[in-house]
Amino acid sequence: MRTFFPSDSCKESQLNAINPQSWLQVERGKLSKLSSSHTNSSSIESFIKVPEPPILPFFKPIDYVEVLAQIHEEMESCSPQERSTLYLLQFQIFRGLGETKLMRRSLRSAWQRAGTVHEKLVFGAWLRYEKQGEELIADLLATCNKCAQEFGPVDVSQLQVEVNGCSKETVAMNGDKSLKNVNFKIGDEIIVCDRQKIASLSAPFHAMLNGYFTESSSQDIDLSENNISPLGMRTISEFSITGSLSEVHPDLLLEILVFSNKFCCERLKDACDRKLASLVCTKDDAVEFMEYAIEQNSPVLAASCLQVFLHELPVCLNDERVVEIFSHADRQQRSIMVGQASFSLYCLLSEVAMNLDPRSDKTVCFLEQLIESAETDREKLLAFHQLGCVRLLRKEYDEAEGLFEKAVSLGHVYSIAGLARLGYIKGHKLCSYEKLSSVISSVNPLGWMYQERSLYCEGDKRSEDLEKATELDPTLTYPYMYRAASLMMKQNVQAALAEINRVLGFKLALECMELRFCLYLAIEDYKAAIRDVQAILTLSPDYRMFEGRVAASHLRTLVREHVGSWTTADCWMQLYDRWSSVDDIGSLSVIYQMLESGGAKGVLYFRQSLLLLRLNCPDAAMRSLELARRHASSEHERLVYEGWILYDTGHCEEGLRKAEESIKISRSFEAFFLKAYALADSSLDSSCSSTVISLLENALKCPSDNLRKGS
């Protein structure tokens, strides 16, 4: 989830929030030091607050290796139609692990192996949604004569629809053989049609014109009461002869579609379906036509409308008409709209809705549809757990409890954490503790189990559980944050900083950076505080602190007043010092400050991207690379940044081509370095090693600073 999924806080952590503006807007040196006699733990407690770990809406099995191996085994023996669903399940598991690259790889595999047009639509839209803001990559690929196919439209006309023709053998022939034509009267007009051509359109028409009906021996037949206009009937007559529809107005096509459905004219209906599908261009078109598509069972038209909706995610979910269509579709309507890919569609819609607002009614509606679409136990437990998390957020505790219980009964042990949290909210703290203890004693325990149990005990027991949680899963941030805050309340500043630095040494978590920022504010170390808040803003420019109440950019402005300004020379010296000592967070902070004061922004954003990649922040790194490209001071510099953008998104050969274009314009260190890097990665031939070495030697001959040459 892109959005932080908050939880209800335990009672003891409900502390009054401080007003950081009033706290900071005082003269330097006038704030109380921690050592002052009137400073106590409660004043620190009101400032440094650690929220409970949320119950995450993810599929979290007990044994990830076993489940992934099982999925891999199923993929080898399953039908092609089932493969995309298995890749979706694999995606859900990687999401629970926080493995963004593996998540995208699974989604891409699901899209590549999609067995139906509907699956292609859903997984293509999901890939686009995950890559929001990466349209630049598609543009860059276009300059290399390569198309990013997941960004392009799907040809819905490929959708196979079974069309049954008229079976003449099943209808007894009794018509007047001398009647070559039939005259259909509609109002005051007569439309002359070829009798047998019209009869061939459907079994009902064949029976009417050639069977034991009065009309079979009649030259004139009145169709005035069948909601077809004279122009519509002439178009149908023409279709009966040519087998195709010429240029027809959409309103007339809709009229013919309804008529063809009424008289079971499958070929005519299919032609209308496909013709209408080609006319859907805008969201308003899609909203209007989807109603007809569902009413008239027109799957190609429905797929075309669906494609428009999905292409406009997440914005289209702000349109209540679109939400209504997705929220209230029954089983048959879902089948018309998305075929057998209903579960995949509502997985996507639920994720988008949760990212927009996990408490919203539309999120609930989509998750309820997800439950209805689920077929296997694994699909059902995911849907029950996710809706349980949303009900918990909405404080709908009884409903949440029932959903978590269903997920647990299907084997999702992690949902017990939701039941325990609900028990605690209802005042059954001991029961919650015992629930977790029972799980820990019955399975191979995981870190989250001890972390969750720690919420329901005090003192040494809590400390022991948190230590065990860290031992089993060092990536859990809550234990470090809780210990750091506890140490700070005991006024053990250095120990608190050492504790939070343990996790920041290998995981650049924003919530941990925020806590350390608060620790530095509490001891009035403004230089360290400004470093952390500038690093936070580099990672997330719109980040908000103090439970979302204060923009980090505003806090930076306030803290900045307490820190002396640096000249450009000071900044470069600081950058060299920090880069040389591998102080990546410090380097990010210095670059942030340098960017604010102008200078060679392209080069600075590029350096920023290198640091962010080293800190395993690929999304932020890509944002910096795009900014570097935008601020490049020359064409050859811009080509280098474009090459890195392509390389980092898996387009190695295209990245290599950009490096070569740059070298043709100007021989630079960065262009040679990119070419060497991309060539080493793209070629499995051991003979290319000498070429790579030669390229690196050429790079070292070019002007550059010693820090880059050192790499």
pLDDT single digits (tens) 643-696: 999 888 878 888 999 999 999 999 999 999 999 988 887 776 767 888 888 898
599 Rama sector, left if φ>0, alpha if ψ -120 to 50, beta otherwise: left
- Indicate if 541 and 663 belong to the same structural domain: no
- Indicate if 419 and 524 belong to the same structural domain: yes
Query: Which DSSP state fits 160?
Result: -
- Indicate if 417 and 431 belong to the same structural domain: yes
**210 domain-assigned:** no
Please report how the helices 377-393 and 80-97 are oriented relative to each other, as an axis angle in degrees rounded to 10: 40
User: Considering its fold, how many domains does the chain have in total?
Assistant: 4
Q: Under a CB-based contact definition with an 8 Å cutoff, are residues 512 and 531 in contact? A: no
- Indicate if 511 and 439 belong to the same structural domain: yes
**197 domain-assigned:** no
Q: Tell me the percentage of the chain whose pLDDT exceeds 70.
A: 88
- C-alpha dist (Å) from residue 459 to 6, 421, 428, 660: 25, 19, 19, 63
546 Rama sector, left if φ>0, alpha if ψ -120 to 50, beta otherwise: left
- Indicate if 408 and 475 belong to the same structural domain: yes
Burial letters for 523-558: b for 16+ Cβ neighbours within 10 Å, e otherwise? bebbebbbbbbbbbbbbeeebbbbeeebbbeebbeb
pLDDT at residue 661, rounded to an integer:
94
Coil, helix or strand for 182?
strand
81-85, 167-171, 188-192, 405-409: range with lowest mean pLDDT: 167-171
Q: What domain range includes position 91?
A: 64-132
- Indicate if 693 and 579 belong to the same structural domain: no
- Indicate if 504 and 570 belong to the same structural domain: no
33-37, 343-347, 360-364, 377-381: range with lowest mean pLDDT: 33-37
The pTM for the full model equals 0.86
From 132, 154, 187, the end of a domain falls on 132
* Residue 181 β-bridge partners: 194
- pLDDT band at residue 9 using 50, 70 and 90 as cut-offs: very low
For residue 570, what are its two tokens? 């000071």
Non-local CB neighbours of 112 within 8 Å, separated by 6+ positions: none
From 534, 561, 588, the end of a domain falls on 561
- Indicate if 535 and 598 belong to the same structural domain: no
Burial class (CB in 10 A: 0-12, 13-18, 19+), 459: exposed
**530 domain-assigned:** yes
- Indicate if 449 and 579 belong to the same structural domain: no
- Indicate if 408 and 476 belong to the same structural domain: yes
- Indicate if 549 and 673 belong to the same structural domain: no
pLDDT at residue 597, rounded to an integer:
81
pLDDT at residue 648, rounded to an integer:
86
**69 domain-assigned:** yes
Q: How far apart (Å, rounded) are the C-alpha atoms in residues 593 and 591?
A: 5
For residue 529, what are its two tokens? 């505080």
- Indicate if 477 and 582 belong to the same structural domain: no
* Residue 220 β-bridge partners: 183
**257 domain-assigned:** no
Q: What is the mean pLDDT of residues 94-108?
A: 91
**207 domain-assigned:** no
- pLDDT band at residue 281 using 50, 70 and 90 as cut-offs: very high
- C-alpha dist (Å) from residue 64 to 61, 96, 412: 6, 10, 12
From 521, 539, 561, the end of a domain falls on 561
pLDDT at residue 629, rounded to an integer:
93
